[in-house]
Protein backbone atom coordinates (compact mmCIF):
# COMPACT_ATOMS: atom_id res chain seq x y z
CA UNK A 1 0.00 0.00 0.00
CA UNK A 2 1.29 3.45 -0.83
CA UNK A 3 2.46 5.38 2.24
CA UNK A 4 0.15 8.34 1.60
CA UNK A 5 -2.87 6.02 1.76
CA UNK A 6 -2.17 4.97 5.35
CA UNK A 7 -2.91 8.34 7.07
CA UNK A 8 -5.86 8.85 4.71
CA UNK A 9 -7.30 5.49 5.72
CA UNK A 10 -6.75 6.33 9.38
CA UNK A 11 -8.58 9.63 8.94
CA UNK A 12 -11.51 7.91 7.23
CA UNK A 13 -11.75 5.36 10.03
CA UNK A 14 -11.68 8.14 12.63
CA UNK A 15 -14.43 10.05 10.85
CA UNK A 16 -16.43 6.87 10.57
CA UNK A 17 -16.11 6.30 14.31
CA UNK A 18 -17.12 9.91 15.05
CA UNK A 19 -20.12 9.53 12.78
CA UNK A 20 -21.28 6.48 14.72
CA UNK A 21 -20.77 8.36 18.01
CA UNK A 22 -22.79 11.33 16.72
CA UNK A 23 -25.52 8.95 15.56
CA UNK A 24 -25.71 7.56 19.09
CA UNK A 25 -26.01 11.05 20.60
CA UNK A 26 -29.29 11.83 22.34
CA UNK A 27 -30.69 15.17 23.44
CA UNK A 28 -33.73 16.57 25.19
CA UNK A 29 -34.81 20.10 26.03
CA UNK A 30 -36.14 21.44 29.33
CA UNK A 31 -37.75 24.91 29.22
CA UNK A 32 -39.52 27.17 31.71
CA UNK A 33 -39.15 28.49 35.24
CA UNK A 34 -36.20 30.83 35.79
CA UNK A 35 -36.36 30.03 39.52
CA UNK A 36 -35.73 26.35 38.76
CA UNK A 37 -33.27 26.95 35.93
CA UNK A 38 -30.03 27.07 38.01
CA UNK A 39 -30.79 23.67 39.55
CA UNK A 40 -31.67 22.01 36.25
CA UNK A 41 -28.61 23.50 34.54
CA UNK A 42 -26.27 22.30 37.29
CA UNK A 43 -27.74 18.79 37.38
CA UNK A 44 -27.72 18.64 33.56
CA UNK A 45 -23.99 19.40 33.50
CA UNK A 46 -23.28 16.67 36.05
CA UNK A 47 -25.50 14.20 34.22
CA UNK A 48 -23.81 14.90 30.88
CA UNK A 49 -20.34 14.46 32.38
CA UNK A 50 -21.38 11.00 33.59
CA UNK A 51 -23.21 10.12 30.36
CA UNK A 52 -21.15 11.14 27.31
CA UNK A 53 -23.26 11.49 24.20
CA UNK A 54 -26.36 12.55 26.12
CA UNK A 55 -27.29 16.22 26.09
CA UNK A 56 -29.76 18.19 28.21
CA UNK A 57 -30.58 21.62 26.78
CA UNK A 58 -31.91 23.95 29.50
CA UNK A 59 -33.67 27.24 28.79
CA UNK A 60 -35.68 29.78 30.81
CA UNK A 61 -38.72 31.71 29.65
CA UNK A 62 -41.01 31.36 32.67
CA UNK A 63 -43.36 28.70 33.97
CA UNK A 64 -46.12 29.56 31.52
CA UNK A 65 -43.77 28.97 28.61
CA UNK A 66 -42.57 25.69 30.07
CA UNK A 67 -46.08 24.35 30.50
CA UNK A 68 -47.31 25.42 27.08
CA UNK A 69 -44.19 24.11 25.34
CA UNK A 70 -44.31 20.67 26.93
CA UNK A 71 -48.06 20.42 26.33
CA UNK A 72 -47.57 21.16 22.62
CA UNK A 73 -44.78 18.59 22.38
CA UNK A 74 -42.20 21.22 21.43
CA UNK A 75 -39.97 20.19 24.37
CA UNK A 76 -39.60 17.06 26.47
CA UNK A 77 -39.71 18.76 29.90
CA UNK A 78 -41.58 21.86 31.09
CA UNK A 79 -40.12 23.43 34.23
CA UNK A 80 -42.67 25.24 36.37
CA UNK A 81 -43.17 26.86 39.77
CA UNK A 82 -46.89 26.32 39.22
CA UNK A 83 -49.12 23.30 39.22
CA UNK A 84 -50.39 22.76 35.68
CA UNK A 85 -53.92 23.09 37.04
CA UNK A 86 -53.21 26.72 37.93
CA UNK A 87 -52.43 27.82 34.39
CA UNK A 88 -55.17 28.75 31.93
CA UNK A 89 -54.98 26.89 28.65
CA UNK A 90 -53.11 23.94 30.12
CA UNK A 91 -54.73 20.49 30.23
CA UNK A 92 -53.19 19.05 33.38
CA UNK A 93 -54.68 15.63 32.64
CA UNK A 94 -52.25 15.20 29.75
CA UNK A 95 -49.19 16.12 31.77
CA UNK A 96 -47.31 14.17 34.42
CA UNK A 97 -45.96 16.09 37.41
CA UNK A 98 -42.48 15.37 38.77
CA UNK A 99 -41.84 17.46 41.90
CA UNK A 100 -38.08 17.84 42.24
CA UNK A 101 -37.67 20.51 44.96
CA UNK A 102 -39.34 23.30 46.89
CA UNK A 103 -38.45 26.96 46.50
CA UNK A 104 -39.01 29.66 49.07
CA UNK A 105 -39.84 33.11 47.72
CA UNK A 106 -39.01 36.26 49.63
CA UNK A 107 -39.57 39.99 49.18
CA UNK A 108 -36.27 41.79 48.59
CA UNK A 109 -35.57 45.51 48.93
CA UNK A 110 -32.78 47.95 48.29
CA UNK A 111 -30.56 48.00 51.38
CA UNK A 112 -31.13 51.73 51.92
CA UNK A 113 -34.90 51.61 52.63
CA UNK A 114 -34.47 51.13 56.38
CA UNK A 115 -36.95 48.26 56.78
CA UNK A 116 -36.22 44.64 57.76
CA UNK A 117 -39.65 43.48 58.94
CA UNK A 118 -43.11 44.15 57.52
CA UNK A 119 -46.63 42.92 58.16
CA UNK A 120 -48.28 40.80 55.49
CA UNK A 121 -51.04 43.41 55.29
CA UNK A 122 -48.60 46.24 54.59
CA UNK A 123 -46.64 44.15 52.09
CA UNK A 124 -49.91 43.55 50.27
CA UNK A 125 -50.74 47.26 50.34
CA UNK A 126 -47.37 48.14 48.81
CA UNK A 127 -47.91 45.90 45.80
CA UNK A 128 -51.52 47.06 45.43
CA UNK A 129 -50.34 50.67 45.37
CA UNK A 130 -51.93 51.69 48.67
CA UNK A 131 -48.61 52.40 50.43
CA UNK A 132 -46.19 54.51 48.38
CA UNK A 133 -43.46 55.68 50.75
CA UNK A 134 -41.19 53.66 53.02
CA UNK A 135 -41.82 56.05 55.93
CA UNK A 136 -45.37 54.64 56.09
CA UNK A 137 -43.94 51.31 57.26
CA UNK A 138 -41.18 52.63 59.51
CA UNK A 139 -38.50 53.22 56.90
CA UNK A 140 -36.91 56.25 55.29
CA UNK A 141 -38.81 59.08 53.66
CA UNK A 142 -38.30 57.55 50.24
CA UNK A 143 -40.66 56.66 47.42
CA UNK A 144 -41.32 52.96 46.93
CA UNK A 145 -40.27 51.63 43.52
CA UNK A 146 -42.04 48.38 42.65
CA UNK A 147 -40.48 45.83 40.33
CA UNK A 148 -42.80 43.03 39.25
CA UNK A 149 -42.01 39.71 37.67
CA UNK A 150 -43.24 39.24 34.12
CA UNK A 151 -46.72 37.96 33.39
CA UNK A 152 -46.55 34.17 33.18
CA UNK A 153 -43.86 33.95 35.84
CA UNK A 154 -44.49 31.20 38.36
CA UNK A 155 -42.69 33.25 41.00
CA UNK A 156 -45.14 36.10 40.42
CA UNK A 157 -48.15 33.79 40.57
CA UNK A 158 -46.94 32.30 43.86
CA UNK A 159 -46.29 35.74 45.35
CA UNK A 160 -49.69 37.07 44.28
CA UNK A 161 -51.45 33.98 45.61
CA UNK A 162 -49.92 34.08 49.08
CA UNK A 163 -49.32 37.81 49.56
CA UNK A 164 -52.00 39.52 47.47
CA UNK A 165 -54.79 36.98 48.02
CA UNK A 166 -54.84 36.30 44.30
CA UNK A 167 -55.13 39.98 43.31
CA UNK A 168 -52.88 41.44 40.61
CA UNK A 169 -50.12 43.85 41.58
CA UNK A 170 -50.32 47.40 40.25
CA UNK A 171 -48.72 48.12 36.90
CA UNK A 172 -44.98 48.62 37.25
CA UNK A 173 -41.74 47.76 35.56
CA UNK A 174 -41.57 44.02 34.88
CA UNK A 175 -38.57 41.74 34.58
CA UNK A 176 -38.45 38.04 33.75
CA UNK A 177 -34.93 37.17 34.88
CA UNK A 178 -34.47 36.50 38.60
CA UNK A 179 -30.85 37.61 38.41
CA UNK A 180 -31.82 40.87 36.74
CA UNK A 181 -34.51 41.50 39.38
CA UNK A 182 -31.89 41.26 42.10
CA UNK A 183 -29.54 43.56 40.19
CA UNK A 184 -32.19 46.23 39.61
CA UNK A 185 -33.32 46.17 43.25
CA UNK A 186 -29.71 46.45 44.37
CA UNK A 187 -29.07 49.45 42.12
CA UNK A 188 -32.38 51.32 42.58
CA UNK A 189 -33.03 53.39 45.75
CA UNK A 190 -36.42 52.52 47.27
CA UNK A 191 -36.87 49.40 45.15
CA UNK A 192 -38.80 46.29 46.19
CA UNK A 193 -39.46 43.01 44.41
CA UNK A 194 -39.43 39.30 45.23
CA UNK A 195 -37.34 36.33 44.22
CA UNK A 196 -36.48 32.75 45.06
CA UNK A 197 -34.25 32.18 48.10
CA UNK A 198 -31.63 30.76 45.74
CA UNK A 199 -31.15 34.17 44.10
CA UNK A 200 -30.67 36.16 47.31
CA UNK A 201 -27.23 37.66 47.85
CA UNK A 202 -25.73 40.24 50.22
CA UNK A 203 -26.47 42.90 47.58
CA UNK A 204 -30.13 43.08 48.66
CA UNK A 205 -32.10 42.99 51.92
CA UNK A 206 -34.75 40.34 52.54
CA UNK A 207 -37.81 41.22 54.61
CA UNK A 208 -39.23 39.24 57.50
CA UNK A 209 -43.02 39.04 57.23
CA UNK A 210 -44.95 39.28 60.50
CA UNK A 211 -41.64 38.59 62.29
CA UNK A 212 -41.12 35.29 60.45
CA UNK A 213 -37.77 34.94 58.68
CA UNK A 214 -37.57 33.67 55.10
CA UNK A 215 -35.62 30.49 55.89
CA UNK A 216 -35.70 26.93 54.61
CA UNK A 217 -36.69 25.64 58.05
CA UNK A 218 -39.69 27.98 58.22
CA UNK A 219 -40.76 26.85 54.76
CA UNK A 220 -40.66 23.16 55.71
CA UNK A 221 -43.16 23.78 58.53
CA UNK A 222 -45.26 26.25 56.51
CA UNK A 223 -44.57 29.08 58.96
CA UNK A 224 -43.22 30.91 55.91
CA UNK A 225 -46.08 30.49 53.47
CA UNK A 226 -44.60 32.07 50.34
CA UNK A 227 -43.20 28.95 48.70
CA UNK A 228 -43.85 26.69 45.77
CA UNK A 229 -43.03 23.25 44.49
CA UNK A 230 -40.59 23.06 41.62
CA UNK A 231 -42.16 20.86 38.96
CA UNK A 232 -40.70 19.19 35.90
CA UNK A 233 -43.65 18.21 33.72
CA UNK A 234 -43.68 15.65 30.93
CA UNK A 235 -46.34 14.92 28.37
CA UNK A 236 -47.32 11.44 29.49
CA UNK A 237 -45.03 9.10 31.39
CA UNK A 238 -41.34 9.74 30.63
CA UNK A 239 -39.28 7.16 28.80
CA UNK A 240 -35.64 6.58 27.87
CA UNK A 241 -33.41 9.65 28.28
CA UNK A 242 -36.14 11.80 29.87
CA UNK A 243 -36.87 9.14 32.50
CA UNK A 244 -33.19 8.56 33.17
CA UNK A 245 -32.52 12.27 33.67
CA UNK A 246 -35.54 12.70 35.99
CA UNK A 247 -34.46 9.65 38.00
CA UNK A 248 -31.04 11.26 38.39
CA UNK A 249 -32.67 14.55 39.45
CA UNK A 250 -34.46 12.68 42.25
CA UNK A 251 -31.43 10.60 43.25
CA UNK A 252 -29.85 10.93 46.68
CA UNK A 253 -26.72 12.46 45.17
CA UNK A 254 -28.75 15.35 43.77
CA UNK A 255 -31.40 15.72 46.47
CA UNK A 256 -28.96 15.38 49.35
CA UNK A 257 -26.20 17.60 47.98
CA UNK A 258 -26.92 19.70 44.91
CA UNK A 259 -30.46 20.80 45.84
CA UNK A 260 -29.55 22.36 49.24
CA UNK A 261 -26.22 23.70 47.97
CA UNK A 262 -28.08 25.79 45.38
CA UNK A 263 -30.60 27.16 47.87
CA UNK A 264 -33.54 24.87 47.19
CA UNK A 265 -35.29 22.56 49.64
CA UNK A 266 -35.38 18.79 49.05
CA UNK A 267 -38.87 17.35 48.80
CA UNK A 268 -38.04 14.88 51.59
CA UNK A 269 -37.39 17.76 54.04
CA UNK A 270 -40.95 19.07 53.82
CA UNK A 271 -43.07 18.45 56.92
CA UNK A 272 -46.23 19.69 55.15
CA UNK A 273 -47.82 19.12 51.77
CA UNK A 274 -50.06 21.40 49.71
CA UNK A 275 -52.37 20.63 46.80
CA UNK A 276 -52.67 22.74 43.66
CA UNK A 277 -55.30 24.97 45.32
CA UNK A 278 -52.95 25.78 48.21
CA UNK A 279 -54.74 23.61 50.77
CA UNK A 280 -52.47 21.95 53.32
CA UNK A 281 -53.17 18.22 53.03
CA UNK A 282 -50.50 16.89 55.36
- For residue 15, what pLDDT is reported? 45
Summarised one tens digit per residue, pLDDT across range 78-114 is 999 889 999 889 999 999 999 999 999 999 999 999 9
Q: Does residue 269 carry a pLDDT above 80?
A: yes
Query: Does the domain formed by 27-102+228-269 have CATH 3.40.190.10?
Result: yes
Summarised one tens digit per residue, pLDDT across range 35-88 is 899 999 999 999 999 999 999 999 998 888 999 999 999 999 999 988 999 988
The secondary structure of residue 168, as a DSSP letter, is P
Collapsed DSSP state (helix, strand, coil) of residue 139: coil
- Going by pLDDT thresholds of 50, 70 and 90, the confidence category of residue 198 is confident
Residue of 233, 231, 215 whose CA lies nearest to 223: 215
Residue 205 has phi, psi (to 5 degrees) of -110, 125
- What's the whole-model pTM score? 0.80
Q: Taking the domains of the chain in order of start, what are their residue ranges?
A: 27-102+228-269, 103-220
103-220 CATH choice from 3.40.50.2300, 3.40.190.10, 2.60.120.560, 3.40.1440.60: 3.40.190.10
Question: What does 80-95 look like in DSSP terms, one character per residue?
Answer: ESS-GGGSTT--GGGE
Domains 27-102+228-269 and 103-220 share a fold: yes
The C-alpha atoms of residue 84 and residue 63 are separated, in whole angstroms, by: 9
pLDDT above 90 covers what percent of the chain? 76
Amino acid sequence: MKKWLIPLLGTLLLLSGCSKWIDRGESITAVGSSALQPLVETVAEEYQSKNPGRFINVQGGGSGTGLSQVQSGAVEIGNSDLFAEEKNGINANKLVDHKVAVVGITPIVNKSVGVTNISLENLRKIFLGEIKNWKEVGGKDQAIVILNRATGSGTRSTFEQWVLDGKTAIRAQEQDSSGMVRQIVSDTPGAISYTAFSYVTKDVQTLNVDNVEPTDENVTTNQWKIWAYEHMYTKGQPTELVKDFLDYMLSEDVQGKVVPQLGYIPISDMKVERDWQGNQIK
